[in-house]
A and B are shown apart, each in its own frame.
Chain A
Amino acid sequence: MSEELLAEPGWLSEEVKTGTTIIAVTFDGGVVLGSDSRVSAGESVVNRVMNKLSPLHDKIYCALSGSAADAQTIAEIVNYQLDVHSIEVEDDPLVCSAATLVKNISYKYKEELSAHLIVAGWDRKEGGQVYATLSGLLTKQPFAIGGSGSFYINGFVDAEFRKNMTKKETQEFVVNALALAMGRDGSSGGVAYVVTIDKDGTEEKCILGNELPKFFDQ
């Protein structure tokens, strides 16, 4: 008797993924987050305008990538936990706390979940910070990129990033990185969402496909 493989139902294998490009960069006084907007299930795009920058708190956002269900659920759970935490400490939560909550879920359910969240925000203690939480690690970085499209822009961001850029330069840097990745990665596309967080507040912007910068696009 040979070992039979378990037959998988068809819809089970067609999981909805955010094959994605996400990026978060610190600048002097805050952070800028950016993402594309494409969500795919198998080979078809199911949502071409999804905002993958999800608020965890007023001045803390996270960028979603990987399995859409896992990422959305983690973001919603951490949003709830941060709400409770901020009531308990009677103050705005630290970005480090938000990142730790995300890391705790990502690490504990490492085998079951397949989502990567980049947490970025501004708090009074440390200013603008970016944390990567891939596979349950927690590391603070000057900038972080994630998603399938990030592989195409590793060289670009390494070469072009400078510490302590101005807000405008950072926004331009983020938009350029997204445009380059969306141009080369099949699983990234649509529009670009950019969120800027600094001590004065949070600004959300959406850049339509035809307004993105063009690089050698014949």
Chain B
Amino acid sequence: MNYFPDEVIEHVFDFVTSHRDRNSISLVCKSWFKIERYSRQNVFIGNCYATSPERLLRRFPCFKSLTLKGKPHFADFNLVPHGWGGFVQPWIEALARSRVGLEELRLKRMVVTDESLELLSRSFVNFKSLVLVSCEGFSTDGLASIAANCRHLQDLDLQENDIDDHRGQWLSCFPETSTTLVTLNFACLEGETNLVALERLVARSPNLRSLKLNRTVPLEALARLMACAPQIVELGVGSYEDEQDSESCLRLQAAIRKCTSLRSLSGFLEAAPHCLSAFQPVCHNLTSLNLSYAAEINGSHLIRLIEHCKKLQRLWILDSIGDKGLEVVASTCKELQELRVFPTDLHGGGNAAVTEDGLVAISAGCPKLHSILYFCQQMTNEALITVAKNCPNFIRFRLCILEPHKPDHVTSQPLDEGFGAIVQACKNLKRLSVSGLLTDQVFLYIGMFATQLEMLSIAFAGDTDKGMLYVLNGCKKMRKLEIRDSPFGDAALLADVNKYETMRSLWMSSCEVTLGGCKRLAQKAPWLNVEIINENDNNRMEEENGYEGRQKVDKLYLYRTVVGTRVDAPPFVWIL
């Protein structure tokens, strides 16, 4: 390959977009490393503490898009205390000082401030795309800066963030000359928006493809917005609480009929049960449907809509759809690839809305299914074995039985065999979440068969250290392992310290690891940051010297890093 001039090689590299493939390319030889680093456009950093802005800039001076992830996954469930970290400010400051022509920033589980957003909006002339997922720390004032200063903004995509809504005029901050919007998603904002400003913005954005409104945008506004934007491809409905035959409703129906490009429907954050019928004309084209926030819409209305959605590829729904509803999905949605069924009752009481029967029906009816997230109250080994036989193509399989330690409800056996069947059949399984009553046996199966597994979530499972060892020894491609409330301790943690260099991170909370064990690990592996999160007893850890070694650690989070101990850790985080 040294016969080709660099420009030719670079041109070939242009066709390689996946960051993993690019990483592999850069390891071939020094020459390729150099060409690759100057031509890398999109940089992905899965753990913001694994490296630093300075190292990023040194290696990739010409990138345009940056993806950063901060807090560990279990932060989504309140297991990581406020203030832990994941601040984007130092990154934006460093990028602003450099000459990087940043165009896109995608952040997940990071702390973003209004100051950061203002700096971002002023520092990059060609900034086009901001995507924030599960972030916090900012307000609508920050959004106002982005709106006002980013002349070429195309995407403002806010997904499930915790935003302080000042109910101000941030939407009015888009200048009249701004006509470049492609994506506008503010569904997670709680406050009122300026509807007039919103309508004018939508009307002057001919490229707008994705519009997701928040719960305060009423029906009549939705009708007018859709009339201005018949080219819309993705729509997130805010509030839909009008009477069935109101004028707004009729106008909406007329507008919807013109939206021939509509492929994705979501939202319905405040929705009257009858509202779905207005969307029936577009059902036959829908590929994505997210009704997982529409708690007021009961099963029968959902079913009546889904019966027409023959091209559906992605469905996110509440368990109020019931097993019967899932059977309708199974017989209608033959193109279905991803299904998520969320719980309406978070505490496992009440009627069992979906059971193992619904899961089996889906697996039998949808041959293209490869991703599933399923919350339910009961499961059996037999059902899981059937699912495995029906669907050997799973890439992501996440099953959450609401009650911890719940066995097979028919045989009262642990669910080891069921999950064992899943990992054995699904040779491409990359992500797995297990639940219910599980012994070390299930981990033996996972270690043996789940050769492609990259992410594993374990809760209330296993008996001894052997369980965790099976996984660490067997799953060669493991990247993220997160464990809570399981009896794994120091022996498992310390068995193969080098394993953690091949992984992004390990989370263990309410397990059996001790402070002594963690300290030994930190000593053996200086390339790891070993963090102990201890919210309650800040000083207890250090005081009791005699018992220190045997003190159980509440939360352990360790990750590989090339930049050593981070300097922004709060007092309740102890980095060993």
Decide whether A and B are members of one complex.
Answer: no
